[in-house]
Structure 1
Amino acid sequence: MGRRILLIGGLAAGTSLALPQVANAARPTAVTLDPFTLGVASGDPGPDGFVIWTRLAVNPVAEDGLGGMPDAAIDVQWQVAADERFRRVVRSGSVSARPSSAHAVHVEVTRLEPGREYWYRFRVGRFVSRVGRALTAPSPDSLVSSLAMAFVSCSQYEHGYFTAYKRLAEDRPDLVLHLGDYQYEYQAGVYVAPGGNPRDHEGPETETLANYRQRHAQYKSDPDLQDAHAVAPWLVVWDDHELDNNWADEVYEKPEIPQPNFLARRAAAFQAYYENMPLRRSSVPRGIDLQLYRRISWGRLATFHLLDTRQYRDDQGCGDGYKDCPAAVDPSRSITGAEQEAWLIDGFHRSRARWDVLGQQVFFAQRDNNNGPAKVTSMDAWDGYVASRQRITQGWVDAGVRNPVVLTGDVHAHWASDLKLDYDDPTSTPVGSELVCSSITSGGNGADSIPGDHPFLQINPHLRFYNNLRGYVRTTITPEEMRADFRCLPYVQEPGAEVFTRASFAIEDGKPGLHQVADRPPSAAVRARSADADPAQVIADTVAWETERP
């Protein structure tokens, strides 16, 4: 079988391996403890292959960020097989994991068959990694019958246990989108969830490359997160906490507190992010720049447009928080930057997919929290960049996009909404749909609620659903519809919670807008609490959950 393998950090060895009976690597490794403590991952699938990733660490939270590894290159052997027991190995090779990249390994495997499952693993000396499952995308002209896709965001290690990742893995999706806030930058005890923090961050606030490497390694050590990475390929994009809360391009969160090292901090965060994510070499950082927006096709069923709403945005108008702000409607301001906006709209015109899905970070639909004439909205979301949102929405309308769907994270709660060209006209026709996932842990346990009782849904009738429990969204995409199940956990500040579906919505092919297909009734206690709730307090709580940071 022919072989063409692209590797980051080394060259293909060109030898076939039979693990675990394979002979030791030619170069002495000096590794006497298991180096696969951070698990494995795959990502960015194409019709002929995907990225497989691991990072070697015998002591994941070592203060220098290098995982207790020797200051030497380590030979890492890898295999991809057509069966889970590795009886049919179809690709194999060796790559050098180097100290300069914290012993991270990115292998771009190619020349695989489209639209099928594969399994992969790594070996260093006598140590063999766990097995990961990956899939190639269907061939470009294939309209496949279905895709099981889940999306997640906001996993604050201190705020709870990553049980939602484990439950997601048990759902066995074919593709996972992580929409940002994969890790948080705070020092232990600075950002406290309601009810307290059951776990602590290792190290200080992340500012140096060693800090970011250590923090990523602490998160990657979590077994539930490792399960989620191993079950399917991921498409990843960042939000703010991978660097600094609410950062915007070269502007840090609190300009009143000088941060002269911010650009160096940004470069360090980007380097560590690449080292710890299953990204292709097109995303290798170059100083303070990292190419993250990109496009992944799943045959003719779906195209995923992955956006970066941090690196190129204008600074938030009128500061952060909810404001009635003239700058929010300034047509010169952008959340994507002009180049990314043009790339996205061009992609709409070129798309032949049944579903065009935007994987991005912050709330897209209008959310006014004021029932009067003033428009009080979040400056950190698309509401703070109204003209930018209008241009992109009009762009998919003008391009005749068949089924536009926006996927969102950031706000630590489940939401669903219809998207419009004119949000101030409640009778206007929807032109798309937005699905928003809750957090994995951020904000602590949260609470169940009756969706229609949230005042935001009365002020903004295009908002269709809300729930403040933690969890993720599970979707099934077919040529006929996209179904979204809002998966919830009753608690996260203790491990082991079971998951349930709080509500399900469907978007029919060619019919923009959501319709609810299932709902789990709230408990009597939730109904009683909702009946007694003060709408003004509910709004205040929601704003606080989204904007209060240390």
Structure 2
Amino acid sequence: MPGLDRRSFLVTGLAAGAVAAIPAAASAAPTPAPTPEAAGELASRGLRSDPFTLGVASGDPDHTGFVIWTRLAPQPLAEDGLGGMPQRAFAVQWQVYADERCRRVVRAGVAEASPEWGHSVHVEVDHLEPGREYWYRFRVGPYVSPAGRALTAPHPLSFGGPLTMAFVSCAQYEHGYFTSYRRLAEDHPDLVLHLGDYQYEYTKNTYVAAGGNVRDHEGPETTTLANYRQRHAQYKTDPDLQAAHAGAPWLVVFDDHEVDNNWADEMPEHPEEQPTFLERRAAAFRAYYENMPLRRNSVPRGVDMRLYRRVRWGAMANFHMLDTRQFRDDQGCGDGYKDCPEAVDPARSIMGFEQEAWLLDGFRRSRARWDVIGQQVFFAQRDNNAGPAKITSQDAWDGYVASRRRVTQGWIDAGVRNPVVLTGDVHAHWASDLKLDYDDPTGPTVGSELVTTSISTTGDGADSDPAAHPFLKINPHLKFYNNQRGYVLTKIDRDALTADFKVVPVVSAPGSEVRTRATFVIEDRVPGVQQTYLRPLDPSIAARREITAEDMVEETVRQETERP
């Protein structure tokens, strides 16, 4: 890959109230944008079919604007990862509208889509009004993209209205249809958090769900820039995912499968692959940026990418988006569920000491009603052994106990009003109280954790009695479990955060309806989760498989450790 150690990017496509961030390989000097007339002429050469096959997206909103994104790819599954685009730059016109029918233009400009960055477009739109809806779309020559909906955050001194926020994780294309993305879009959230495993790296039939895979990945296991571009494009062609992106702005962070299963900093899953791993990581980071609605301060610099960041939603909430992969110490004791002495080593961190300091400083400075920590892996302790030995996942915060304690003590010392941790990764719904000392179950509750199940990973799953999981008996701070697919839909207001755990019965076939399996409330200044609704167990689903306590432990450990 040329330019892996490049440290600069080119800003082009200037327009009133907006900047299109288009990284370039050779120069850091701005160049003038083409006029709309010239843009149409440029776009008419070399494109013979619709280039907007990957849809549109918006992200990282603030009170003045947001990022809008698209990527040109008339042949999205092309093996070279270039999407069927000619090897030259294209001028892309964009417009932002004040109305859903796209008649009242409030911002417009032209951005460059270059082959060096996969013909992606990232426009940072600003000078908009706080706390309201906008719509946007793109045009190249005669081709017009679908329209997307975006929102600006309330003014920093205003709460605005209630915030409807959904969070999701783990969408394995082969394991099932992305029905939950479609149902999420139908809920019309104001904001969506994606907490990792947006795509998976495996070649087809390497990672097989129970009951078999229902779709196939294109191409080999992703290791090169072309591979990652092709895989992202395949996921983006899914109409349900496109609907979710078009419906609301997203805040995204990666976990492991955007690069390699269970990677940690410069260490791949398989140590023998380490000599080429940084090249692979750089390719994955570059493709991730190209395919996500991220601001220019997340442009990767070779093998590094600044993804942790803070997004403010008026006076209501601060979103602290973490990166628990790029800077972590390697997992202890060979990974997996183990009683591991390295887990308590205070010299180890799951997110690096620089990021820890950044997070603790954010706690001290925050005046928000809610401080929401969007991150990847299970935060609360989950011991799966009722005896004296502590058997925990070394890939989660349990493998970095001192790091977890520093973060928890940090929000306590800062007087954070309502700390809430949001989590993905584990392919099941969970809700839990957070403790400073998990060995003292009578000690005070100091925060709350909500965990979303997967969109599709591991296939259909099954309903079960939430209280029957042995983990809840061994760990009394754990309050809820469900092993179906879905997402979490929250409503954040001044007085409470309400979380609906949404599930779909099956993902092995498209079109399932969604239902709320349980609802939990976190009250203002009352740390911990309180259940307010629990749907009765569905006999028709439960009857598919007799699930014992031992089954649930084995299934939990298998889902989280026995990936190829």
Q: Tell me the alpha carbon deviations over residues 99-128 of structure 1, each in whole angstroms, 9 at most, x when there is no partner.
A: 111100000011111111000000000000
Offset of residue 27 of structure 1: 5.6
| Alignment counterpart, residue 523 of structure 2, candidates 493, 508, 533 | 508
| Alignment counterpart, residue 139 of structure 2, candidates 123, 143, 154 | 123
Q: Distance in 1 between matches of 2:167 and 2:519?
A: 15
Matches within 5 A, 1:364-379: 364-379=379-394
Partner of 2:17: 4
Q: Tell me the alpha carbon deviations over residues 230-281 of structure 1, each in whole angstroms, 9 at most, x when there is no partner.
A: 00000000000000000000001021x3342111000000000000000000
Partner of 2:244: 228
Partner of 2:562: 548
> TM-score, length-normalised on structure 2?
0.94
Q: Distance in 1 between matches of 2:54 and 2:120?
A: 10
Matches within 5 A, 1:4-43: 4-9=17-22, 13=33, 24-25=40-41, 28-43=44-59
Q: Distance in 1 between matches of 2:547 and 2:66?
A: 49
Offset of residue 536 of structure 1: 2.7
| Alignment counterpart, residue 413 of structure 2, candidates 369, 388, 398 | 398
Three-state SS of the structure 1 residue aligned to 2:528 is strand
Q: Tell me the alpha carbon deviations over residues 75-114 of structure 1, each in whole angstroms, 9 at most, x when there is no partner.
A: 1100001011222101001111111111000000111111
**1:195 is aligned to 2:211:** yes
Q: Distance in 1 between matches of 2:229 and 2:131?
A: 34
Matches within 5 A, 1:151-190: 151-190=167-206
Partner of 1:327: 342
Partner of 2:317: 302
Offset of residue 15 of structure 1: 6.5
Q: Distance in 2 between matches of 1:170 and 1:11?
A: 41
8 Å CA contact 2:138, 2:145 repeated in 1: yes
Matches within 5 A, 1:54-203: 54-203=70-219
Q: Distance in 2 between matches of 1:245 and 1:296?
A: 28
Which one-letter code corresponds to 1:537 in the other structure? D
Offset of residue 69 of structure 1: 0.6
Three-state SS of the structure 2 residue aligned to 1:318 is helix
Q: Distance in 2 between matches of 1:210 and 1:468?
A: 35
Offset of residue 143 of structure 1: 1.5
Q: Distance in 1 between matches of 2:195 and 2:498?
A: 19
Matches within 5 A, 1:231-250: 231-250=247-266
8 Å CA contact 2:44, 2:142 repeated in 1: no
Partner of 1:479: 494
Task: Identify which range, 517-526 or 300-309, moves more after superposition.
Answer: 517-526
Which one-letter code corresponds to 1:289 in the other structure? D
8 Å CA contact 1:16, 1:92 repeated in 2: no
Three-state SS of the structure 2 residue aligned to 1:100 is helix
Offset of residue 429 of structure 1: 1.5
Offset of residue 4 of structure 1: 2.8
Q: Tell me the alpha carbon deviations over residues 150-188 of structure 1, each in whole angstroms, 9 at most, x when there is no partner.
A: 000000000000010000000000000000000000000
Q: Distance in 2 between matches of 1:122 and 1:355?
A: 35
Q: Tell me the alpha carbon deviations over residues 174-228 of structure 1, each in whole angstroms, 9 at most, x when there is no partner.
A: 0000000000000000000000000000000000000000000000000000000
Q: Distance in 1 between matches of 2:42 and 2:83?
A: 23
**1:462 is aligned to 2:472:** no
Pair 1:374–1:529, CA change in 2 (3 A): farther
**1:338 is aligned to 2:383:** no
8 Å CA contact 1:15, 1:92 repeated in 2: no
Q: Distance in 2 between matches of 1:429 and 1:516?
A: 18
Three-state SS of the structure 1 residue aligned to 2:103 is coil
Which one-letter code corresponds to 1:59 in the other structure? Q
Three-state SS of the structure 2 residue aligned to 1:465 is strand
Pair 1:34–1:487, CA change in 2 (3 A): same
Pair 1:123–1:140, CA change in 2 (3 A): same
Which one-letter code corresponds to 1:277 in the other structure? M
Q: Distance in 2 between matches of 1:23 and 1:185?
A: 36
Partner of 1:312: 327
Partner of 2:450: 435
Query: What are the ranges of 5 or more consecutive residues in structure 1 without an aligned counterpart?
Result: none
Partner of 2:6: none
Which one-letter code corresponds to 2:18 in the other structure? I
Offset of residue 23 of structure 1: 9.1
**1:497 is aligned to 2:512:** yes
**1:207 is aligned to 2:223:** yes
Q: Distance in 2 between matches of 1:528 and 1:105?
A: 49
8 Å CA contact 1:14, 1:92 repeated in 2: no
Offset of residue 545 of structure 1: 1.2
Query: What are the ranges of 5 or more consecutive residues in structure 2 without an aligned counterpart?
Result: 1-14, 23-29
Offset of residue 534 of structure 1: 3.6
Which one-letter code corresponds to 1:202 in the other structure? E
Offset of residue 425 of structure 1: 1.3
Q: Distance in 1 between matches of 2:509 and 2:390?
A: 39
Q: Distance in 2 between matches of 1:466 and 1:331?
A: 30
Partner of 1:51: 67
Q: Distance in 1 between matches of 2:283 and 2:417?
A: 40
Three-state SS of the structure 2 residue aligned to 1:431 is strand
8 Å CA contact 1:145, 1:479 repeated in 2: no
Partner of 1:535: 549
Partner of 2:503: 488
8 Å CA contact 1:29, 1:124 repeated in 2: no
Three-state SS of the structure 2 residue aligned to 1:493 is coil
> TM-score, length-normalised on structure 1?
0.96
Q: Distance in 2 between matches of 1:522 and 1:431?
A: 31
Task: Identify which range, 2-11 or 245-254, moves more after superposition.
Answer: 2-11
Three-state SS of the structure 1 residue aligned to 2:289 is helix
Q: Distance in 1 between matches of 2:172 and 2:252?
A: 16
8 Å CA contact 2:339, 2:391 repeated in 1: yes
